[in-house]
A and B are shown apart, each in its own frame.
Chain A
Amino acid sequence: MTTFVELLVNGISIGAVYALIALGFVIIFKATEVVNFAHASLLLAGGYLVARLWPVVGFWAALLIGVAAAALVAAAIEFLVIRRANVASHSVLAIVTIGVDIVITTELTRQIGTDVLAMGDPWGSEVVRFGGVTLAETRIVALVTAAALITAFLLAFKYTGWGVAMRAAAEDAETAALMGVRLGRVSMSAWAVAGGLAAVAALFLCVFPTPGLDRSTSLVALKAFPAAILGGLDSTTGALVGGLIIGVTESMMSGYQNDMAFLGRGIGDVAPFLVMLVILLIRPAGLFGTKELARV
């Protein structure tokens, strides 16, 4: 039972981190209709800066710079590539983001080399015990931070002028422009927010029990793709639920893999994608994908 609770909490915690990534993915898709395959490289860029800068400026300042830098890189991609690409189809832009991803990831991989970079976080490998349940402090901080960021984002999305502009532009860009919404600003801010969230996620993907940031970190971030897709690419709720489903599935499958030896080793890494396939077979638009609701 304690194992189960530990696995569950760890799963929810890592799921919340996936949700941060998936949320960024969904915001970009909603605002610009682009599937952003460069998301993992944004995450790696943010994480890399934190890891390199903390010995110099301290952890908190490094985190701040990392988040700001990832937001800036994302905004730059929007401004320099997405906005200027005069292409007829959004699927072409998705391919363009694959190119951007390869460029950024290759350079960062070259910089990182074979190192495993510590994140310099204040939580280290401390653990907390509740009854018989042992949890890493980093997991609890990850859960709380992700939950706070997601709540703040959803509130802003619902109640601020920025959120109204975002939703209007997502629903009908031309009409939003006719109402005075500046589409360029909306889409650039969406990219920036997504980049910032990815950098925070990078931190929590690389802290204990993970040894640190290395060149395969962007592969870990790939697990957020099934989270976004199974939730429904255009749904923020979907990103959250998707993130949690993937996180818990992965944690459970890894934790109990000895009991499921017939499935082979490493089933935890495959499980997110299996879950995605099964859900898409049943609901092709994802769990919360757009259902049209209109009466004329």
Chain B
Amino acid sequence: MADLAVSDLVVGYGPVRALRGVSMRVPSGSIVAVLGANGAGKSTLLRAISGTLRFHRGSCQGVVTLGDQRLTGLDAASVVGRGVVQVPEGRRVFARMTVEENLRAGGLGRSRRDYAKAHDQVAALFPVLKERARQRAGLLSGGEQQMLAIGRALMAGPTTLLLDEPTLGLAPLMAARITETIKEINSLGTSVLLVEQNVAMALSLASHAYVLEVGEVVLEGTAAELRESDEVRRRYLGIGDAVEGALETRTLSRWS
């Protein structure tokens, strides 16, 4: 087990800077949250860690390390091989394949024994996936697809799990269920880097959090500190002086 560390990460898509010198740390066994509005660079951060920037014509400088191993420059499959696995935003299950085949795609290249172990673990976490093993993934509900996406990532046996907005677009009950599951996965020893817009949920899970704005870390601290911070309460939790909040609104730049 090792800490995931990002230092001075600068990412650009052509002329557009999406991240400008971001540094953060996910200590082994912890849950760390990254908060921020649309376009703050949250997904870009995960792409840079997972090595999928090239699918979006992005380029990066800076270093991502896992313990003493460098992840920067590796292709996506090798990053997975080092134990850092991402559950992408919008679930992205393989809709034309069955639930079982999706899980299999997550655990390719593992030994038969590791595979069986991971499969049992996923079945215990998400019994519904076992019931629907032979159904096409595209026919699952949104919440079930999210479970499948997480289960598929777990099949790779991650030591660090990167979650990109896992509760986006889910009914409150289902979102709560996913939140519980993340806690459970973490309690089994997997570090989690959680990217969320749902700040209340993220801060309830995480021990530590970073707030991204326009490609930079503007705030960081323990979850308790951030929950108490006026800035976060006003901007993201909708608590506090409404008038003052309205005056401070500012336009965030966006990119595709």
Residues of A that sit less than 8 Å from B by CB: 161, 164-165, 167-168, 171-183, 293-296
Contact = CB atoms under 8 A, between A and B. Distances in A.
A167 B96 CA distance: 9
Q: Which of A175, A177, A294 has the most CB of B within 10 A?
A: A175
Q: Which of A168, A180, A293, A294 has the most CB of B within 10 A?
A: A180
A292 B150 CA distance: 23
A260 B105 CA distance: 53
A51 B138 CA distance: 48
Contacts of A183: 77
A179 B108 contact: yes
B80 interface: yes
A173 B55 contact: yes
Contact of B97 (A171, A177, A180): A171
B94 A167 contact: yes
A253 to B, nearest CB: 36
Given A171-B96, A171-B97, A178-B50, A296 B142 contact: yes
Contacts, number: 85
Contact of A174 (B52, B101, B153): B52
Contacts of A173: 55
Contacts of A171: 94-97
A177 B56 CA distance: 13
Contact of B80 (A168, A174, A178): A178
B195 interface: no
A179 B106 contact: yes
18 contacts: A164-B97, A164-B105, A167-B105, A168-B97, A171-B96, A175-B88, A176-B105, A177-B77, A178-B52, A178-B80, A178-B85, A178-B88, A179-B152, A180-B80, A180-B108, A181-B77, A181-B108, A182-B75
Contact of A167 (B77, B97, B142): B97
B109 interface: yes
A179 B80 contact: yes
Interface string B128-155: 0000000010111110010000001100
A232 to B, nearest CB: 13
Interface in B149-195: 152-153, 156
Contacts of B95: 171, 293-294
Interface string B96-140: 110001001110110000000000000000000000000010111
B10 interface: no
Nearest to A184: B75
Given A167-B94, A293-B138, A178 B86 contact: yes
A180 B156 contact: yes
Interface of B: 50-52, 55, 75-77, 80-81, 85-86, 88, 92, 94-97, 101, 104-106, 108-109, 136, 138-142, 145, 152-153, 156
A176 B97 CA distance: 12
Contacts of A176: 94, 105
Contacts of A296: 142, 145
Given A171-B94, A171-B95, A165 B105 contact: yes
B136 A293 contact: yes
Contacts of B138: 293-295
A208 to B, nearest CB: 42
A111 B104 CA distance: 47
A179 B156 contact: yes
A90 to B, nearest CB: 14
Given A164-B108, A179-B105, A293-B96, 17 more contacts: A164-B104, A164-B105, A167-B96, A171-B96, A172-B92, A174-B55, A174-B76, A176-B94, A177-B77, A178-B76, A179-B106, A179-B152, A180-B77, A180-B85, A180-B156, A181-B108, A295-B139
Contacts of B50: 178
A168 B94 contact: yes
Contact of B153 (A164, A179, A293): A179
Nearest to A290: B96
A44 to B, nearest CB: 34
Contact of B104 (A161, A177, A294): A161
Contacts of A180: 76-77, 80-81, 85, 106, 108-109, 156
Nearest to B104: A164
B208 to A, nearest CB: 24
A161 B109 CA distance: 8
B94 A172 contact: yes
A182 to B, nearest CB: 5
Contacts of B105: 164-165, 167-168, 176, 179, 181
Contacts of B85: 178-180
Q: Which of B81, B109, B153 has the most CB of A within 10 A?
A: B109
